[in-house]
Amino acid sequence: MESDLVAVLRCPVCTDGLALDDRTARCSRGHAYDLAKQGYLNLLPSASNGIEGDSAAMVGARTVFLGTGHYAPIRDALILAAGLGEDDVVVEVGAGTAYYLSGVLGTSQRRRGIALDVSKYAARRAAKVDPRIASVVCDAWRELPLVDGAAQVMLNVFAPRNAAEMARVLAPDGRLLVVTPNQQHLAELVDVLGMVSVDEDKERRLRDSLAGEFERVGSEPVEETMFLDRTAVEQLVLMTPSARHLNYRELLQRIAVLPEPAMVTLSVTLSVWRRTSSTHQSP
């Protein structure tokens, strides 16, 4: 992990800035956090210990499925919407394996990324994706371990949204890119495989979750028809929250009756948000 990336992080105990000393991130008050041997930094507050993130199996399935390129249209849309400058910092909340974050950073070597996730298994993967990315374990529902105004762009793809903290971390002229599933997303698989369906009120809940901190300045659908073999379907299901309640043997039996390849709808909305003019203004 590079020292300039640690410089935009802050201590989860006292909120002072962190600096890298060999393989330890320290704040001015003496709190210290050692880099894990896999390259990530654990800044999870003690009050959040024991919370459940994605398992090793879920992260492994995500790595395999995203590697097939079926979700590349989402990443491509994020790249276009980000509009990055050469020296910008991009933060992804709920980054998982940093698939989207690494794509958005593009080819500029001066851009930097911070991958935030509560799962240590995800953090291990994200830490190996790109040397320009700092992988950090944290709790998205608590204070994010980042200094004020650190990010020019924030990504939130199928992930929790802590509006107040995201507004604090985002630069005044920055943008928040949010990807949410539509009702048609994976519709061909939901009932057949017993997956969790998309909430009909998801659009309203998105607006409510960001109200007061952000205003929407743009929105576009991202829709494709994916042609998935049975292995891809299996990995897709196993990387989602549905994996937590499905019986694996029964899942394989259900997948076995699907046509191969199966035609599956990718349908999400990418919305672009900016901080409201009254948010976090200097006194």
Q: Which pLDDT score, from 0 to 100, does residue 283 have?
A: 39
- % helix, strand, coil for the chain, step of 5: 30, 30, 40
Task: Kindly compute the dihedral angle of the four CA atoms of residues 87, 88, 94, 97, in this order, to the nearest 10 degrees.
Answer: -30
Q: What is the mean pLDDT of the chain?
A: 91
| CB burial string 116-126: b at 16+ within 10 A, e below | bbbbbbbbbbb
Over residues 177-206, the pLDDT tens digits come to: 999 999 999 999 998 988 877 777 778 888
Which backbone phi and psi does 257 adopt, to 5 degrees? -95, -5
Percent of the chain topping pLDDT 70 = 96
Q: Is the pLDDT of residue 279 over 60?
A: no
Q: Answer for the pair 150, 89: CB distance below 8 angstroms, yes or no.
A: yes
Q: Where along the chain do its domains lie?
A: 3-275
Q: Which pLDDT score, from 0 to 100, does residue 233 have?
A: 96
Helix ranges (DSSP H) in 152-213: 163-169, 187-193, 202-210
Over residues 59-81, the pLDDT tens digits come to: 999 999 999 999 999 999 999 99
Query: How far is Cα 236 from Cα 132, in angstroms, rounded to an integer?
Result: 28
Q: Which pLDDT score, from 0 to 100, does residue 203 have?
A: 81
CATH 3.40.640.10 for domain 3-275: no
